[in-house]
A and B are shown apart, each in its own frame.
Chain A
Amino acid sequence: MKITKTIALSYKILTAHKLRTALCISSMTIGVAAVVVMVSMGRGAQKRVLDMIHDMGTNLIVVNAGHVTLVGGRERQSAIVTSLRPEDADAILDHCTSVIEVAPETSRKMNVEWESENLMTEIVGISPAAFRIRNIEIKTGSNFDSIENDTGKRVAIVGSVIVEKLFNGENPVGYRIRIGNAPFDVVGVMKAKGVDANGVDRDDRVLIPIKTAMLRLVRTTFIQKIHIQVADSEQLERAETEIRDLLRERHRLRDKPDDFTIQNQATLVQTERESARILTLLIGSVAAISLIVGGIGILAVMLTASRERRREIGLRRAIGARRRDIRTQFLLESLIIACLGGFSGTVLGILSNFLASKLGGWTALQSWDVTGAGLALSAIIGLIFGIYPASKASKLEPIEALRTE
């Protein structure tokens, strides 16, 4: 049988039954579009989470006071623990060879006032090293230095949400605000960073020197976190062990469990990547089901076609078609339907991704491997679901087929 001529003939037959073919193609279109959109959305979400983790800084280890557990992918601290101190941060920098920088942190929700405006926000006491470790960039003004930190100067850097809510969008550099009852001079505005992996808005906060925070605002000797930067990612595991050993010794824990939690960025990335992969797989599977439904559509249409076209099959057999020619013809028709559905589904999927990103603000990461896989899968589904009707059609005896009323 001449394959190119048969393809042309199959195409003519399919176009002769426009409605039936269009319905069949549309079922495949929806299936493939669902795969393309859902997997792109899944990958987009994965990328977003990973970007957030990378945005925290590079080669990072975070020591939290007490037990921090992940609930619904977000950090939950069990209770206030007072054992983590700024001296621990200094000791880590001094004793752990793989550590290159440390940034202790303390925070508390407090009232901030400017003129007649006031709001509750997170006041975060950080050391100047945190700007480097955690990629905190200044949009306007300047950050504070170690002298301002050591002398407990009342300076503040505000986030973009604070600028909008408290200062109505005005540049606040040079303004004097009150945090609690203490006056602070605004020296800078942070570059917007958005929401972090824990769902915390990193722009709805005020940064002040940690020493100022501990001495003048929260008035405690303990801290909540230490951000630690390690020389390179290879040393993250070793650094974690060193830090754990050192803190256990400093906190005299011996047989007691840790009173701190260490989060290794590499582990975090791996965990997030794994959960995102499972999510992508899950939604991909749901989408694949719709692809199978599309395949069942092909099966139903081709079975109907093989019944309706018994006389045509009989005629083809009468003029010399072998069983395998009939089988090939029906398979080609399924394949053409599936490929056209696959192609239009891909286009629809890409278009939907574009619209979802532009209009809906969704992060859809167009993955070309999935697009290619969707196309290939549609062809495979066309073949698989086309085999039974094709085989059924080819088994018809010519005279039996010709006698069909």
Chain B
Amino acid sequence: MIKIKNIEKTYIKASVLTPVLCGITLSIQRGEYVAIMGTSGTGKSTLMNIIGCLDKPTSGQLELDGIDVYKLDDDTPSSLRNNKIGFVFQQFFLLERTTALDNVLLPFIYADKYPADAIQRAKKTLANVGLEDRTEYLANELSGGQQQRVAIARALINDPDVILADEPTGNLDSTSTAEILEIFNRLNKEGRTIVVVTHDRAVAEHAQRILELKDGLITENGTNPNTENSDIH
């Protein structure tokens, strides 16, 4: 489903070249639950951003469902982000002073067609993450864990093929972390592809496959023997 060929990314700041990814080749199958691990600055977020069409690689190729993303025009990555990818960020990125429901409805505005049953779908998705009684709450009135669940609902609303989560539990307490990881497990069991970027081994342990990044290269790429979700859909 996701194919990365020889991806390189080098940042240029004040004429200084900083290589972050140094030729990564990777393939993620539909229905897989993959964790990308590494210490700070190893390029794991950069890799996730490239997979999510948020950032462009310096060189290399990215294929999503057979589409060579960066060979197409500027609108194609936007369309892919809207249809095929759902993002969950560490900082949640909800619109403040906007209700949970409106935050979840946001991706529909940029979809090809605004569904007639948008509100029902948004409410159902919020219920799916346990927030059926918080639909009219403003984002800033919710706890961190609830905000992250709203962000997951927003990521799910367009029924994407893959969920990309960058340190999704980084700002959460242990209870909320457990809830979020439980949601990811459930989504994966339902057939959703999940890629989680984390520096936390405990979080990564929930994935079927763990990739370890070091100095811009994948140093480990193996199936997680501890997970019960080891079968690839």
- What is the minimal beta-carbon distance from A317 to any residue of chain B, in angstroms? 7
- A399, B93: Cα distance in complex, Å: 13
Beta-carbon contacts under 8 Å, A304-319 to B? 311-312, 314-319
A-B contact count (CB 8 A): 74
Residue of A nearest to B109 (CB): A5
Measured CB to CB, the residues of A under 8 A from B are 1-2, 5-6, 9, 12-13, 16, 311-312, 314-323, 325, 397-399, 402
- A68, B202: Cα distance in complex, Å: 102
Residue of A nearest to B114 (CB): A2
Contacts of A16 in B (CB 8 A): 96-98
The 4 closest A-B CB pairs, nearest first, are: A320-B82, A320-B110, A16-B97, A315-B93
Please name 15 pairs of A and B residues whose Cβ atoms are closer than 8 Å in the assembled complex, sorted by A. A2-B109, A5-B108, A6-B109, A12-B98, A12-B102, A315-B93, A317-B78, A318-B81, A319-B87, A320-B158, A322-B78, A325-B110, A399-B55, A402-B54, A402-B93
- A397, B75: Cα distance in complex, Å: 13
Residue of A nearest to B81 (CB): A320
B144 within 8 A of partner (CB)? no
B52 within 8 A of partner (CB)? yes
| Chain A contact residues, majority secondary structure | helix
Contacts of A319 in B (CB 8 A): 81-82, 87, 106-107, 110, 154
Residue with the highest number of chain A CB atoms closer than 10 Å, among B49, B52, B78, B107: B78
State whether A402 touches B89 (Cβ < 8 A). yes
* Given contact pairs A2-B108, A9-B106, A323-B74, a sample of 15 additional A-B residue pairs in the complex whose CB atoms are under 8 Å apart: A1-B110, A6-B109, A9-B102, A16-B98, A311-B91, A318-B52, A318-B81, A319-B81, A319-B110, A320-B83, A320-B111, A320-B158, A321-B78, A322-B75, A325-B110
**Per-residue interface assignment for chain B, residues 39 to 55, with 1 indicating a CB less than 8 Å from any chain A CB and 0 otherwise:** 00000000001001011
A321 and B110 contact, Cβ closer than 8 Å, known pairs A398-B54, A399-B55: yes
- A318, B92: Cα distance in complex, Å: 12
B95 within 8 A of partner (CB)? yes
B120 within 8 A of partner (CB)? no
- A1, B110: Cα distance in complex, Å: 5
State whether B110 touches A316 (Cβ < 8 A). yes
Contacts of B97 in A (CB 8 A): 16
Tally B residues with Cβ within 8 Å of A: 29
**Per-residue interface assignment for chain B, residues 135 to 165, with 1 indicating a CB less than 8 Å from any chain A CB and 0 otherwise:** 0000000000000000000100010000000
Contact of A318 among B54, B109, B158 (CB under 8 A): B54
Beta-carbon contacts under 8 Å, B32-73 to A? 49, 52, 54-55
B79 within 8 A of partner (CB)? yes
Contacts of B111 in A (CB 8 A): 320
Residue of B nearest to A398 (CB): B54
- What is the minimal beta-carbon distance from A320 to any residue of chain B, in angstroms? 2
Contacts of A317 in B (CB 8 A): 54, 78, 81
Contacts of A325 in B (CB 8 A): 78, 109-110
Contact of A316 among B54, B83, B89, B106 (CB under 8 A): B106
Residue of B nearest to A323 (CB): B74
A311 and B93 contact, Cβ closer than 8 Å, known pairs A1-B109, A6-B109, A319-B110: yes
- A2, B115: Cα distance in complex, Å: 11
- A228, B62: Cα distance in complex, Å: 93
Residue of B nearest to A321 (CB): B110
- What is the minimal beta-carbon distance from B106 to any residue of chain A, in angstroms? 6
Contacts of A311 in B (CB 8 A): 91, 93
A322 and B74 contact, Cβ closer than 8 Å, known pairs A1-B110, A5-B114: yes
- What is the minimal beta-carbon distance from A10 to any residue of chain B, in angstroms? 11
- What is the minimal beta-carbon distance from A396 to any residue of chain B, in angstroms? 12
- A173, B55: Cα distance in complex, Å: 97
